[in-house]
Structure formats: structure tokens, C-alpha cells
Structure 1
Amino acid sequence: MSGKLRLAVGEASRTACARAVLRAGVDEATGEVLSPAVLARRVGWCADLVAGMVAALVGEHWNRVDVGVLAAGVDAGGRRLPSQAWMALRRLGWAVTAPVGVRVNDRVVRMAQEQAGRALRSVKWRADVTAGVLAAWPADPRKRTPAEWDHVRASIPGGQHLPSNVIKGRTRQAVTFAKANGRLPVDVFELEGAPRIGRMLLLAACDRQQATIERCDTGPAKALLRLQLPTRPDPRGYRDWTWVECRISLPSTVPASAVLHLPTLRVTDGTVRADMAYTHAVPKARATGHSVALGVDWGLNTLLSAGALRLGKDGRITALGAGGQFRAAGVLAKQHRLRRHSERLHAKADQYARLLGGRPDEQLRAKREVLAGEIRHVSARRQNLNDALAWAAARWTVDQAIAARATAICLEDLRSMEARGMGHSLNTRLSQQVRGRISDRMRHLAAEHGIAVVTVPARNTSKHQRKSWL
């Protein structure tokens, strides 16, 4: 981390992340300039070493007992486990080593333990939800009775506030397992299996002996990342590791006064991408005492409708202006077209899988591989479109709040909305997953201006929109 953040009165620290690209590097030992392809190859070698150790560590402890021990937060002596995942795993004695004949330093092992610890910690919530669903298995999994809904929510920690679609999704997953195996799964570890390990370098788990980052002397818009990378895919000794300098152009969203943290490196399509974490000062959002708020309502054809309201000293609520609407009909139409196209491709891929049935058919297998590539391409297009739509809608909402001088944004909570009885096409359009992304982006942007984002229960908000934010 470069420097220490200083906060003034009325300010709070905020940690965010921005994406950057490592376009070149310089080997400090030889002075050789590394092209993007060479840099991606060397980062990929290190990521492969880390991913192999992560897979071994996760596979060894992918069970209910070990995950429960890690989630308990205390070691055998009753001491509290550190928040850093790699330190917690070492406290528990969960060690991992590099392959035979390969030499890595302790910081590379830290990255592997950090990634494995995060994966094992994150599965605890899914394990509790799955255990609650299996413990309160209904007579008809397709439709629970009100009593069965109360039972399953009581069986899940925090289940009273859990969206029903999460419980239904876990139920469908268990039903699929039961059809294939003739019985229900024992737990989530049998239901899901060990996760796929991503190729990444979590440099946040390292110290200055493995990686450093600081702003360049030429200006605050650039940062200098120094890290040790292998010169071969199977380094035999420490001589096969050299320091590499990489200059990074920071995005404009990173303030000049922000404190930089060591990034996470990923190799995507032959390019090294960095998730740049940084901490900066923002105005502290108030929890109470709001007099002007922006109410935001979801729609079908009109994605967002917003209006500013003022709370007077006499308790009277006054609307400020006529409000505004965020229309994205063209983007939504393209989104629905890509969704239908993706559904057809998946149906065709499933049909190919049924026709193969374990029989060797090279021609059909080749068609299936081509279809799998097209599915990945369409999925990437849908993801990029949803991200662009989420950022645009969130930016518009926050701009409306700034223009109205509102200190709070009241957003209708539709996380558990499930449209039914209006046809397959309209049901899917109403149950848009992009709403969750918009909400996350909205909180991200609102925090920069000290604006609080409050979720309002969706019950009766269409009738009583002006009163819902009180």
C-alpha cells in the first residue's frame, strides 16, 4: 500500500476497485522490455502454479467439518482467527506445498492460501441454506404450503429475510440431483462439488518481498507495480524468479489522493488485467435527519422513475417538480433478444448432449464444441450489455439526487420479485436480474457523494410511494 489515508471531520474512508491493463513490463535483471504477450505468459506461469496449489488445498478441505471449523472463527486453542484468509489457514495448520521440483517463495504460497481460504469461507452461507432446505424438504417441491415456507425459513439462519427465489433455486438444484441419483444430496459439498479455480494472483496477500505498488513520479495518473515473476513455467530455483516493473495507467475514476493497494492480476484473452483496489475519503452519509430524498420506482418499459420529495418541519411531504424517467427501451429489447437467442442455443446444446449419449461421434462432437463457443460469445455480449445498462441507470439516478440536493435515495426492493401467470416471455421480462446490478452500482456511486441508499419494501409502494421513504 502506498501511503496512509488521512480523514477530516465529516469524512469516511471508502475502498473501491477499478480495472486497468498491464500493457508492458521491464525485467530488472536483464533490462529487457517485455511485450504484452511475454508479460501475459510469465504472469500466466505464476497463476498456474498458484491455481494448482489452490485446487489441492480446496479439494482437501471441501467438506462440511473443515468449512465449519474455518467459519467458526476460532482455532483449537480458542483464539480468534485472523481476518486474512491465508493467516487463518496457517493458524489451523492447513498447509500446501508446490509440486515436486518446483521452487516458489513463501509469498506465492500465501496467495494460494488466500484464494483457497476465500473460497472455503464463501461456501459457508450456501452450505447453511442448502442444509436448511434439505432439513425442511416439502411434500411437493414444486409448491410449498405456507406452513412449509415458515418451516424452511426457520431452518435457515437469517431465513426470515431471505428472498424466496434463493430457496426455490436451491430446491430445484436438489430436485435435479435427486432425479439423477435417486436420492437427495447429503449437503452442498455433494450437491456442487469442488469449485473451478480461477487463474489469478491475489497480490494483497503479499508483502514487499514479492510485490510493491506506488504512484509514478511523472504524475498521479500512473502507478508503478513491481513484482516477482518466474522466467519458466517450472522454476527450479530462486534464480528463475526476477523482478518485473509494470507501469499502469490508472482510470480517471481513481482520485489523485487515493491510497493504492496491491491489485489482483488476471490473464484474459492474452492480456494481463489488474483489479486496482484503492481507498479514498468521501463525505460521510447520514443515517437520520434527511429532509430531501429521491424516491425511485422500477418499471417494465420505463426502467426507472424518480421524483424528489421534501419533508417539512410540520411533517408534510412536498413533491419537488414532476420527476423524471430513465428509458432504455432499445437496450432492453436487445437484451431480451440475446436472452431468447441464448435459450435456443442452450436447448440445442442439450439436444446434442442427449444424441451423443456417451457414443463416439466426432462430427456431432465438433458441432457441439462450435455451439459451446457461440454460447460463451452470447453470454459475454449479455454481460457487457447488462454492465453498461447498470452503470448508465445508476449514474442517472445519482445525478438526479445531486441535482435535487437529496441526501438519501429510496429504492424499491424487488430482489424477491417473481412474476407469474403472465406468460413465459413477460414473466422473464418482469423478473430482470439487472435490477440487482443497478442497485449495487447505485450504492457505489452514491457513496462518493455521501448519499445514503435505502431499500424500501415493495409492499404497497405503488400506492404510497411518497410515504414509503419515511
Structure 2
Amino acid sequence: PGGRHLPSSIIKGRTRQITKYWQANGRLPVDVFEAEGAPGAARMLLLSACDGQQAVVSRCESDPQRALLRIQLPTRPDPQAYADWTWVECTISLPPTVPASAVLHLPTLRITGGKVRADAAYTHAVPKARRTGHTVALGVDWGLNTLLSAGTARVHDDGRITAPGHGAQFRTAGVLAKQHRLRRLSEHLHTKADHYQRLIGENGQHSLADRHQALRDEIRFVSARRSNLNDALAWAAARWTVDQATAAGASVIYVEDLRSMEAKGMGRTMNTRLSQAVRGQIADHMRHLASEAGIAVVTVPARNTSKHCPRCLTPLRHRKAPDRPTTAGWKWAICPNQSCGWQGDRDQGAWRRTAARGLAHQSKTVIDKSSKTMAIRTVVDKLETKAVVTPTTETSRKDRSKTGPTRPHTSRPAPRRRRAPSPAARPCGPAGKRPEGHAPTDRTRLLRAA
């Protein structure tokens, strides 16, 4: 009475229900059950709320990839006693992603396509991700057209850091182009919808009201497509990164921290594409997938990772392409230090700098108390001087340096001679002559193309 013992949210919700019922029927509802519709339930059975007396799940002894679900179901629509219930056994095929040592939990049964599906949850032990003590790391650099560039770096006992490979790149030009088209379409629809809204104003019976509602429905549809595309792209990029770290035997993934990056000075289109990248989703999915393999994901400051040389920390000169060393650009980086002479793709140098910075600053890794994520927040100058990639002198191919003059090569190649003997006399031509063209010598008649 008086609502003294009810939260304000319940009073507000019930008031809205009563108001809606009054507008639809012209009178007040008799009780709460008349004010709200009948509750709906999904066609699924949550077995997690059952105890062991009603449902039990266990692995099959003969086949570990199959589970046996024993559930007690009624034999009549209105069970009255314990005799009206019986045990039913169901065999569930487990996907290969479920480890053999995992502990299964009671699933959720649902009907899809005329079949009963089981959403099974399981628990298994994973190695704990270490904060320090890493020797092999995977450095990841963000890009725009090339979404991710990654490679491994190794720290030796004497403190040297080497990069054993050239790295790899995760290219998604087609997906990013589709994402860009959907973004432009969404902007166009929003502009048109705003124009219709200004024309309609407060008039609910305007002739453009139906078209405006259709535009709003189309905007929701395009937004859902963009969201699904971003989510799929984020999962694919995270899966690729974790697979690279697992294949290289890395125990940590160092990622640039670009949360404070501001997209400006590169044009309206480029600034928008940079601002709407799915880096946050990729990092979250990366942590989720890496935790199962016991791999730590640490964010490092992104300052000067693409500006300085990974070998000598000298500011790089960026050019358009390796065959155009005098044309200004951003893709190709050249070290002006004559004693170093490193040059390579800008993104390839950035992941080397990221991995080396992370390995050199392992002692500065902290765990955020709220998000439980690992991060290196500051760059120490003393440690930064050690974050250089030492070039390796080992090579897998033999030395091909010139030791003498080059042999002269004629500009006219030698004619291609047949190894088959000259054919015998034939009716189609004089004896001892080869057939013209490239036809085989055992044919009695040349092909039309020959």
C-alpha cells in the first residue's frame, strides 16, 4: 500500500503498463495479470538448474568424444507420482575442440530444424599466463589495409634480442572494402532520414512518414550487417594472431596500445576509417583465445614504433616504395645510418620495435585491477636503449658472391632440338623431313592448329 516497500523502477514500469492498457482499452486493468500479456518461453530446456536426481551427464567409456546424458522425463502429460517418470538416455557427439580431460556440465537442450541440439559447457585446466620471464614473444602492429603485421622475437641469455623470421601479415582488403561501403551507405541513409525528419516535423500524418519509417528500418538492417561483419573480422584476426604465437612457441603477445590515438590530419575519409577500426574487439578476442593456450597478451606504448629503426633506433626516412627511394611516402622505411643500413616495410619494422620494447620492459608489466589485463604503461629510457633487434649473421643459403668474370651469354638462344629420330617416308610429305610446328612425330596427319 502506498508503494512504500517497492523500488521506484517497479512503480515506473507498472505505471507504463497501466497507461498503455488505458490507451488501448479505455479503462484501467483489473489486476497485474490483465495489464501484461502471457509470458513466453523459448523452446529449450535448461538442465543446469536440475540436480543429480533428474539429469546426469558423463563421457562414454568406449569413445571419449561422445557423452551420455541421462535425464528423467514424464511418461504422461500430468505426472502424479514417481512412477509417471522414467529415465531416458541420449548420446551427444562432442566436437573435436572439447579436450579429452575436460569436465562436462549439464547442457541446454533446444529444438532446431527438427532436431534436438545440446549446448554443452565444459571446464578444463589451462596454463597460467606469466607476467615476466618470457624469452619468445610475438609482436603485433596495427595497420589499415594490412590489418595486422606480426612476427616473433627472441631474447638471449646475454640480453641480445633477435628476430628469427620476416614475420607475416593479415590482409583483409576485401572485408575492409565492404566495411567501407557499408559505412558510406549508413551515412547516406542517416542523412536522408534526418532530412525527412525535418520535413515531417511534429506532423504524424505527413505523407513522408511511411518512407521515413522504411528508412529507419533499413538503417537498423545496415547497422546489424556492419556489427556482424566487424565481429567476424575481429574473431578471424584474433584467431590468426594466437595461431601465429602458438606455432612460434611464444609465451606472450605484445600489442600496441592505441586507445589514445586520434585520427586527424589525413583527410575526412581516412580519419573515419582509422577511428572505426575494430582494434578493441580484436584485442578482447585475442585475450580470450590466448588465455586457453596460456599465452599472455600485454599492451605496450605505441610511441615511435614506426618512426625509429628497429636495429639502431635512428629516425627512419619513409619513402613510397623500395624502387622509388627519392619519392616521399609512408610504406617503405630506410635507415639513414650508414653503419646500419636497414630498410623494409614500415609495418615489419613496427612489429620488431613492439616485440623488442616488450621484452626489454618485462619488469614494468603491471596487471590492471579492474580489467585484469596486462600492460606496460611507461617507457624507460635506460631499458629502451636495450630494445634493439640485433641482426643475425646466420644464413641458410650458400654465399653467391662473384669470384670471377661473368660468362658471356648470347642474345640468340639455341634452337630447341627434338630428341626423336626423323620420321620415315609418309604419304603426306617427303621422306626424312620433320613435321612442321610442334606436332608429335608419330602422327600421320597434322592437327588443324599446327
Task: With the length of structure 1 as denominator, give the TM-score of the two structures.
Answer: 0.49
Q: Corresponding residue for 2:276?
A: 432
Residue deviations 1:162-216, cap 9 Å, x none?
xxxxxxxxxxxxxxxxxxxxxxxxxxxxxxxxxxxx9999959844399957358
Q: How does 1:360-399 map to 2 (within 5 A)?
A: 360-361=204-205, 363-399=207-243
> 2:136 matched to 1:292?
yes
The structure-2 alpha-carbon separation of the partners of 1:226 and 1:439, relative to structure 1 and needing over 3 Å to count, comes to: farther
Q: Is the 8 A contact 2:139 2:153 kept in 1?
A: yes
Q: How does 1:65-76 map to 2 (within 5 A)?
A: none
Q: Is the 8 A contact 1:407 1:452 kept in 2?
A: yes
Q: Corresponding residue for 1:467?
A: 356
The structure-2 alpha-carbon separation of the partners of 1:390 and 1:250, relative to structure 1 and needing over 3 Å to count, comes to: farther
Q: Corresponding residue for 1:335?
A: 179
Q: Provide the C-alpha distance between the structure 1 equivalents of 2:58 and 2:242, rounded to a whole number of angstroms.
A: 30
| Runs of 5+ consecutive residues of structure 2 not aligned to the other structure | 1-5, 13-31, 74-84, 309-352, 362-450
Q: Secondary structure of 2:253's match?
A: strand
Q: Is the 8 A contact 1:292 1:309 kept in 2?
A: yes
Shift of 1:465: 3.0
Q: Corresponding residue for 2:203?
A: 359
Code of the residue aligned with 1:413 in structure 2: it is D
- Match among 28, 35, 59 for residue 9 of structure 2: 59
Shift of 1:311: 0.5
Q: Provide the C-alpha distance between the structure 2 equivalents of 1:223 and 1:362, rounded to a whole number of angstroms.
A: 62
The structure-2 alpha-carbon separation of the partners of 1:247 and 1:419, relative to structure 1 and needing over 3 Å to count, comes to: farther
Q: Provide the C-alpha distance between the structure 1 equivalents of 2:173 and 2:150, rounded to a whole number of angstroms.
A: 17
- Match among 167, 171, 174 for residue 323 of structure 1: 167
Q: Corresponding residue for 1:402?
A: 246
Q: Is the 8 A contact 2:254 2:354 kept in 1?
A: no
Code of the residue aligned with 1:379 in structure 2: it is S
Q: Is the 8 A contact 2:66 2:91 kept in 1?
A: no
Shift of 1:431: 1.9
Q: Provide the C-alpha distance between the structure 1 equivalents of 2:57 and 2:174, rounded to a whole number of angstroms.
A: 43
Shift of 1:306: 0.9
Q: How does 1:187-226 map to 2 (within 5 A)?
A: 206-208=49-51, 214=57, 220=65
Q: Corresponding residue for 1:412?
A: 256
Q: Provide the C-alpha distance between the structure 2 equivalents of 1:348 and 1:266, rounded to a whole number of angstroms.
A: 42
Q: Is the 8 A contact 1:420 1:427 kept in 2?
A: yes
Residue deviations 1:223-242, cap 9 Å, x none?
759799xxxxxxxxxxxxx9
Q: Provide the C-alpha distance between the structure 1 equivalents of 2:91 and 2:218, rounded to a whole number of angstroms.
A: 35
> 2:122 matched to 1:278?
yes
Shift of 1:310: 0.7
Q: How does 1:19-168 map to 2 (within 5 A)?
A: 59-60=9-10, 99=33
Q: Secondary structure of 1:467's match?
A: helix
Greater RCO between the two (CA within 8 Å, min separation 6)?
A: 1
- Match among 133, 138, 149 for residue 305 of structure 1: 149
Q: Provide the C-alpha distance between the structure 1 equivalents of 2:202 and 2:90, rounded to a whole number of angstroms.
A: 48
- Match among 290, 293, 296 for residue 452 of structure 1: 296
Residue deviations 1:126-172, cap 9 Å, x none?
xxxxxxxxxxxxxxxxxxxxxxxxxxxxxxxxxxxxxxxxxxxxxxx
Q: Secondary structure of 1:412's match?
A: strand
Q: Secondary structure of 2:131's match?
A: coil
Q: Is the 8 A contact 1:224 1:247 kept in 2?
A: yes
Shift of 1:334: 0.8
The structure-2 alpha-carbon separation of the partners of 1:354 and 1:206, relative to structure 1 and needing over 3 Å to count, comes to: farther
The structure-2 alpha-carbon separation of the partners of 1:212 and 1:60, relative to structure 1 and needing over 3 Å to count, comes to: farther
Q: Provide the C-alpha distance between the structure 2 equivalents of 1:349 and 1:269, rounded to a whole number of angstroms.
A: 38
Residue deviations 1:384-421, cap 9 Å, x none?
22222112211221222122211111111112322123
Code of the residue aligned with 1:408 in structure 2: it is V
Q: What's the Cα RMSD here? A: 4.8
The structure-2 alpha-carbon separation of the partners of 1:325 and 1:251, relative to structure 1 and needing over 3 Å to count, comes to: same
Q: Provide the C-alpha distance between the structure 2 equivalents of 1:333 and 1:461, rounded to a whole number of angstroms.
A: 27
Code of the residue aligned with 1:214 in structure 2: it is V
Q: Is the 8 A contact 2:140 2:355 kept in 1?
A: no
The structure-2 alpha-carbon separation of the partners of 1:262 and 1:436, relative to structure 1 and needing over 3 Å to count, comes to: farther
Q: Is the 8 A contact 1:203 1:211 kept in 2?
A: no
Q: Provide the C-alpha distance between the structure 1 equivalents of 2:152 and 2:143, rounded to a whole number of angstroms.
A: 17
Identity %: 61
Q: Corresponding residue for 2:393?
A: none
| Runs of 5+ consecutive residues of structure 1 not aligned to the other structure | 1-55, 63-97, 109-197, 229-241
> 2:350 matched to 1:350?
no
Pick the structure with greater CA Rg: 2
Q: Is the 8 A contact 2:154 2:161 kept in 1?
A: yes
The structure-2 alpha-carbon separation of the partners of 1:210 and 1:225, relative to structure 1 and needing over 3 Å to count, comes to: same
Code of the residue aligned with 2:357 in structure 1: it is S
Q: Is the 8 A contact 2:137 2:254 kept in 1?
A: yes
Equivalences, count: 281
Code of the residue aligned with 1:60 in structure 2: it is I
Q: Provide the C-alpha distance between the structure 1 equivalents of 2:291 and 2:297, rounded to a whole number of angstroms.
A: 8
Q: Is the 8 A contact 2:47 2:109 kept in 1?
A: no
